[in-house]
Amino acid sequence: MAKGRVRFRVERCKACELCVKFCPKEVLALDKNSINPMGYHPITAVREDACNGCGICAVMCPDLVIVVERE
């Protein structure tokens, strides 16, 4: 299976959770231990090992926060 890694421009995240809802592998979640400059808990990868590199999260994000790297 394809493997992927996700990187985030966390300062742009508005915590809308669209990416969380659409990720088929439940990789993503808001980081409750962090607050970005806009005052939101930003996105993070909680199950990065499960990422398949599909890129759906990056397509769904309206704020271009997510960059997917395929391995």
Contact footprint for ligand SF4 (CB under 6 A): 4, 6, 13-19, 23-25, 27-28, 43, 51-57, 60-61, 63, 65-66, 68
Query: Considering the complex, what minimum distance in angstroms separates the CB of residue 37 from ligand SF4?
Result: 13
**3-state helix vs strand vs coil in the chain, percent to 5:** 25, 25, 55
Query: Considering the complex, what minimum distance in angstroms separates the CB of residue 70 from ligand SF4?
Result: 9
Contact 65, 10 (CB under 8 A): yes
Of the candidates 12, 17, 11, which has an alpha carbon nearest to the alpha carbon of residue 30? Answer: 17
Query: Considering the complex, what minimum distance in angstroms separates the CB of residue 9 from ligand SF4?
Result: 9
